[in-house]
Structure 1
C-alpha cells in the first residue's frame, strides 16, 4: 500500500472538510438504525453506491428502509443503533 493518497482521495477529504462531500444516510425501521456511507464527490456517485448498500441491508432482512443523500460533514458514528440508546 502506498503512503501517498491518490488525487481523488485528497479531493474527497477536502470536500468532506469543507462540508461539501455527499453522504448516504440510510434509516431502517427494523432494526431501528441509521447508517452513514461516504464521503462521495457527487450526488450521482452516492446514488449509484446506495443501491448496493440497500441490497446488503435487504439481505440482512432489514425492514422499512429509507434513503437520504445530502451534503454534510462526516458523522461521528457511521452506525447508530437507536434501540440501544
Structure 2
C-alpha cells in the first residue's frame, strides 16, 4: 500500500526532469525524476550520449521542474 501511495503522490508532486528533443526521429524523451536541478545536469551527458549512439540528433535539452510526464517518450510523425 505504501508503494501505491508514493506513486499516487508522485503524480502530483513536482520533480526535476531532463527533457531531450531530437530530430530524425522527431521525439521528446523525459529522464528522471531527479532530486535536484544539479543532479539532472550531472546526468545529462550520459543520456545525450545514449540517444546519439542510437543515431538520433539532439536538438534541444531542458531541465524542468514538473509533474511526472504522462509518457516518457513521445514520437512525432514525420512530415512528408
- The 3 A distance-change label for structure 1 pair 36 and 43 is same
User: Which 4+ residue blocks in structure 1 deviate beyond 4 angstroms?
Assistant: 13-16
Look up the match of 1:18: 13
Q: CA RMSD in A?
A: 2.2
Q: Which runs of 5+ in 2 are unaligned?
A: none
- The normalised TM-score by structure 2 is 0.78
Partner of 2:62: 68
Alignment of 1:1-85 (within 5 A): 17-19=12-14, 21-83=15-77
After TM superposition, give the deviation of residue 16 of structure 1 in Å: 6.5
> Counterparts of 2:11 and 2:39 in 1: how far apart (Å)?
15
How many residue pairs get aligned? The number is: 74
Kept after mapping to 1: 8 A contact 2:48/2:58: no
SS at match of 2:57: coil
